[in-house]
Structure 1
């Protein structure tokens, strides 16, 4: 059956190129996917493939790219390819933010920056750039962005994806906890990596270092980013529900009270996860500063299933109302 949508057409093309590069250049699918994106950007295949194969792929590139492809279509096509590649990868940090959640985070970021003329956004754990792309595609203001990723393959995909969508993003290949070389930003939007940070000597410089044993990577990233968010700036973070139940939670709560204000906590529907222990929420924070607000009431809610469109629409009406009542939009 022939592909019928532009997303399917682009995915089929990207996948064809990636599979060929994977086969002939002895690379993983994710490595080949980044090269496939480069091939589409440059309208030519740079990998050393058999001549007949290069000619075939370059002909497909000129003929099969959908005209006037929208940014969201490009993101979704690459998302499908990344998901395929993730099945081959075994690293635990190779996981993608669910599409509906990424778009919802984008909606929240757009609300938070609605009164600004422009906004600078940071994702300190950008992975393949899918979440950052979804946010940039959702924000209606003029935006610039920074993405930080320690995995070179994922960073390459993120770079290509941003270029294909013509987003203004500067990427850094670094450990965001050990080194975060970005200027002050308006918003941090991230799907926080969860677990223990292996570099004890680096963690020792943080307030949120563990009182014993290894420190939590998700705590350290929050502290590091707090240094790079402007006064009155925002955090929109995807966090595990157990984050406030660990033995280090009191230290995190104390740190947040000193430096920021919780604007809201939106629990994702349980149906999205295999079990309650894997459940996640979206945490909205504002760094303290002269322009920061003190919400009359924080936004606490359990989100309905994203497939229940009517219930979700009702929830968005309530969230929109809350933003207006707090003077945020």
Structure 2
């Protein structure tokens, strides 16, 4: 079958071939070379780039990234967030903040920037400024190249997202939170969700950082382990959430996205408290159905809309 290649396929092929050719020349990692390949297309292949929509560009990047993963074993935190998760986060941001024409969105532990790119795609009618915080220098550089390639505004802060942040008052914080222990005890002991003994959970500390970065009554949409409210130290987390925020929703992502039940993740939606403005709501607990079954997905959207009408009548 020799149907003509789509613009997205041409773009993917160009990125993929360029990254592999660079890899033979310079011996840098495939991920770094994908960043350089995007820069090459941005500066030297404008005709091709300008034919491509934002979605074409993001998908070409995603497919190139996944193609390069087959060439090279990479560490777990270099995996990109699947676009299905980014698109549902974007949809939730849009639903909760649909009256806002401009939004400052911070992304905690933003990796290569694919989550922010997917969220941006959904919010294309709003004016968005993205703040990305990523400690890994390779990934933070790739996200700068990705911003140029997509021609959307990313401010990238190459720093540890658990250290004090260089900005505050974001309307929205998103994040696909890395799971594990945080090694800098001096820092975690300054924080409400740090443990008194031993290393603290990095995903707990990032929830705290997300709330700290928000303006009052701003929203956090965070991808967390589905079992986050089980196990030890959970009282500390529950107390923090109850004191600092109004919890809005806990939505289990489709199990088909994960290898097994233990790896399953959910979306935690929090609103930062503001005196006389925010009020307790009945927390929306739901399973997000597989995106491949449109009928069930429509049912989920109806439940969400009913919940919004009851709990946030002005939205």
Structure 2 regions of 5+ residues with no counterpart? none
> Paired residue for 2:69?
86
Q: Does 1:305 align with 2:306?
A: no
- Tell whether the 8 Å contact from 1:9 to 1:66 is kept in structure 2 after alignment: no
Structure 1 regions of 5+ residues with no counterpart? 44-60
Q: Does 1:24 align with 2:25?
A: yes
Alignment TM-score, normalising by the size of structure 2? 0.93
Q: 1:83-122 residue pairs with structure 2 within 5 A?
A: 83-87=66-70, 88-122=72-106
- Tell whether the 8 Å contact from 2:170 to 2:213 is kept in structure 1 after alignment: yes
Q: How many Å separate the matches in 2 of 1:86 and 1:203?
A: 33
Deviation at 1:110, TM superposition (A): 1.1
Evaluate the alpha carbon distance shift between residue 108 and residue 328 of structure 1 in structure 2; reply closer, same or farther with a 3 A threshold: farther
Deviation at 1:290, TM superposition (A): 3.8
Q: How many Å separate the matches in 1 of 2:53 and 2:98?
A: 23
Q: Does 1:12 align with 2:13?
A: yes
Q: Does 1:205 align with 2:190?
A: yes
> Paired residue for 1:46?
none
Runs ≥4 residues deviating over 6 A: none
Deviation at 1:292, TM superposition (A): 4.2
Evaluate the alpha carbon distance shift between residue 23 and residue 247 of structure 1 in structure 2; reply closer, same or farther with a 3 A threshold: same
Q: Which moved more, 1:258-267 or 1:150-159?
A: 150-159
Evaluate the alpha carbon distance shift between residue 98 and residue 166 of structure 1 in structure 2; reply closer, same or farther with a 3 A threshold: same
Evaluate the alpha carbon distance shift between residue 280 and residue 292 of structure 1 in structure 2; reply closer, same or farther with a 3 A threshold: farther
SS at match of 1:236: strand
For the aligned residue pairs, the C-alpha RMSD in angstroms reads 1.7
> Paired residue for 1:52?
none
Deviation at 1:28, TM superposition (A): 1.2
SS at match of 2:155: strand
- Tell whether the 8 Å contact from 1:111 to 1:328 is kept in structure 2 after alignment: no
In structure 2, which of residues 107, 114, 120 is the aligned counterpart of residue 130 of structure 1?
Answer: 114
Alignment TM-score, normalising by the size of structure 1? 0.89
Q: Which whole-Å deviations, capped at 9, do the CAs of 1:185-239 have from their partners, x for residues lacking one?
A: 0000110111000111221111111133110001111112222210000000111
Q: 1:146-295 residue pairs with structure 2 within 5 A?
A: 146-290=131-275, 292-294=277-279
> Paired residue for 1:70?
53
Q: How many Å separate the matches in 1 of 2:46 and 2:179?
A: 42
Q: Which whole-Å deviations, capped at 9, do the CAs of 1:143-197 have from their partners, x for residues lacking one?
A: 1110011111111221111122221221010001123212320000110111000
SS at match of 1:230: strand
Evaluate the alpha carbon distance shift between residue 110 and residue 291 of structure 1 in structure 2; reply closer, same or farther with a 3 A threshold: farther
Q: How many Å separate the matches in 2 of 1:189 and 1:175?
A: 16
- Tell whether the 8 Å contact from 2:16 to 2:67 is kept in structure 1 after alignment: no
Q: Which whole-Å deviations, capped at 9, do the CAs of 1:66-90 have from their partners, x for residues lacking one?
A: 5431112111110111123334243
Deviation at 1:301, TM superposition (A): 0.6
> Paired residue for 1:40?
41
SS at match of 1:227: helix
Q: How many Å separate the matches in 1 of 2:276 and 2:99?
A: 12
